[in-house]
Structure 1
Amino acid sequence: MSEGLDIEAMRRKLEGRFQVALYSQPETVDGGEFDALRPAELEQGNGFAILLSRTHRQFEASFKADNFAGALLRVMSEATDGQKKAFVRARDAAEASGTHVYVAINGNDSRNCLDLKDRWTRVEIDVSRRFPSGKTADEMLATALQVASTCLTLVLALTGIGEEGQAVLDNAVKGLPEGAKLRVEVNRYERSPVNRAACIEYYGLRCQCCDFDFADFYGELGDGYIEVHHRTPVSKLGPDYIVDPVEDLVPLCGNCHSMVHRTDPPMPVEQLNALVEARKAAGLQGH
């Protein structure tokens, strides 16, 4: 279990970051007790859990597929090149920051295990990070959030869950029978929670145009919330385009997001920022 950490606060932050509905509950796995996060759209038994645990030294998050999650593993094994690139990008970024990431497919833990052609029967994803020395409660929560976010990013990258135009696991959605067909639609990159999370990880939760922060203004209600703007409209991107979450995306508050879309094509964020700064200097700007 992850005693001493507010799992509900972490869940809310992750929901805001990914825009994917999650719920938390305690679970017993292989004799161990864990706090678990699950996507609300998948039925328990056919989906997966992110198992959370901590020691006095580190925090760990692990992917655990359910007993009847064969369709989920099939979707993961059929991930597109773009999805695999998003997975590798997230893994490499996490490792570069000092987070340990272990990935194995069917027991193969090589760096290119995602290219395994055999049927995927076992997927292991484990993410861990040591707590900073002289840790405070806020630092511990930040470390735990980073670890859980990385693990969830890696899973969502391969499953497409939360994407608009996603590959949906029909037989894992609540109320549908085992064996129902998979529904695959185009434009998987559109509104990707993985790209959204990577954008927020890089820029933070402040509007990059006017510096508005929802948590500062609304407190807990606004914690973790921000809109993410595609610098190039998704309608203009080709079907094989791979979104770069730093170059192509930027966090904006709702007001600024609406304003950049007042022109066609959308106004560059830098241009609107210059307008905002000029009005601030003239004492005319308010949110």
Structure 2
Amino acid sequence: MDAGRGLEIALSRTITSATAVVMPEESGGALVRRLGRWVQDNSDAWASAVEDVNAQGVQLTISVNHEMLDDPRNAPDGLWRAFSIECWVRRPARTTKEIEQNLLKVGGPALSLALNALVEQDEVELPSFEPLPEGAAVITKVNRYERNPVNRLRCINHYGPVCWACELDFAERYGPAAAGFIEVHHRIPVSTLGAGYLVDPIGDLIPLCSNCHSVAHRRTPPFQPAEIRELLGLPPKVPALPEV
């Protein structure tokens, strides 16, 4: 994406709150229009994404064409010329780790909503995310299965950037350079999903560290996260993950 035509995110925090605002860059008009078209063509998916944010205890404000929406789930029709997505949460934070967690809690949902404008563009590459919908085969020299970066963000925002199985926190182990790093595991192998399958980012995906993720794929079908905890001699987690 050309410079000045993408998204920018502003993060701010106080001792008691954290805020993230995502908006297009100065020349991001094409991106604005694309998000508007996507929202209008996928109104149910957009409403579900907004409800997911609210369910996580994050306050959400969305403006379109410089007018605040009364209900963010119901986006306006017509041409979008501008938008902003603001997420904020009131939670105390005094340590570096608490500050990072709060910023991730608001930054993840704000960015994931805006990324709906990008995920269906075949020419866009997002190397920092796992490559809508999950499991949709694309014809190249081999079958390649697409992974949705929005689902990844929703999964990490729900569970946190910590391995569900062994509870490794990369930031604690390696320091600030590794803060927020985690892999996301598909509990149902992507290759077995039919085209158009709608993935539940909370039930179908789970954050795992690199080691646990590798062990999960040592078997077909993969080990479930609870089974990896058994291999490690760790007690079951409560509540347990839903069956898949």
Provide TM-score, normalisation by structure 1: 0.62
Q: Secondary structure at the match of 2:172?
A: helix
CA displacement at 1:123 relative to structure 2? 1.7
CA displacement at 1:220 relative to structure 2? 3.0
Equivalent residues of 2:40, 2:77 under 8 A apart: no
Q: Secondary structure at the match of 2:218?
A: coil
Partner of 1:151: 110
CA displacement at 1:231 relative to structure 2? 0.9
Mapped to 1, the partners of 2:166 and 2:187 lie a distance apart of 16
Mapped to 2, the partners of 1:118 and 1:75 lie a distance apart of 12
Cα distance, 1:82–1:215 mapped onto 2, change above 3 Å: farther
Equivalent residues of 2:109, 2:157 under 8 A apart: no
Cα distance, 1:45–1:217 mapped onto 2, change above 3 Å: closer
Mapped to 2, the partners of 1:193 and 1:119 lie a distance apart of 25
1:119 aligns with 2:79: yes
Q: Please, which of 97, 103, 121 is the counterpart of residue 167 of structure 1? A: 121
Cα deviation code 1:227-261 (max 9, x no counterpart): 11101111222222111112101122222222222
Provide TM-score, normalisation by structure 2: 0.71
Q: Please, which of 21, 28, 31 is the counterpart of residue 69 of structure 1? A: 28
1:248 aligns with 2:204: yes
Partner of 2:64: 105
Equivalent residues of 1:206, 1:212 under 8 A apart: yes
CA displacement at 1:141 relative to structure 2? 4.2
Would you say how many aligned residue pairs link Structure 1 and Structure 2?
Answer: 216
Amino acid at match of 1:187: A
Cα distance, 1:58–1:46 mapped onto 2, change above 3 Å: same
Mapped to 2, the partners of 1:199 and 1:223 lie a distance apart of 16
- Where in structure 1 are there 5+ consecutive unaligned residues? 1-41, 161-165, 174-185, 279-287
Q: Secondary structure at the match of 1:62?
A: strand
Cα deviation code 1:143-198 (max 9, x no counterpart): 333222221122113432xxxxx41576xx9xxxxxxxxxxxx9399332222222
Q: Please, which of 192, 216, 226 is the counterpart of residue 148 of structure 2? A: 192
Mapped to 2, the partners of 1:54 and 1:260 lie a distance apart of 37
Matches within 5 A, 1:1-287: 42-54=1-13, 58-79=17-38, 87-106=46-65, 107=67, 109-111=69-71, 112-114=73-75, 116-132=76-92, 135-138=93-96, 139-160=98-119, 166-167=120-121, 187=136, 190-277=146-233
Amino acid at match of 1:258: S
Mapped to 1, the partners of 2:41 and 2:222 lie a distance apart of 25
Mapped to 2, the partners of 1:83 and 1:208 lie a distance apart of 31
Cα deviation code 1:39-94 (max 9, x no counterpart): xxx33321221133456764432222233222212321232799765654443343
Equivalent residues of 2:39, 2:46 under 8 A apart: no
Partner of 2:239: none
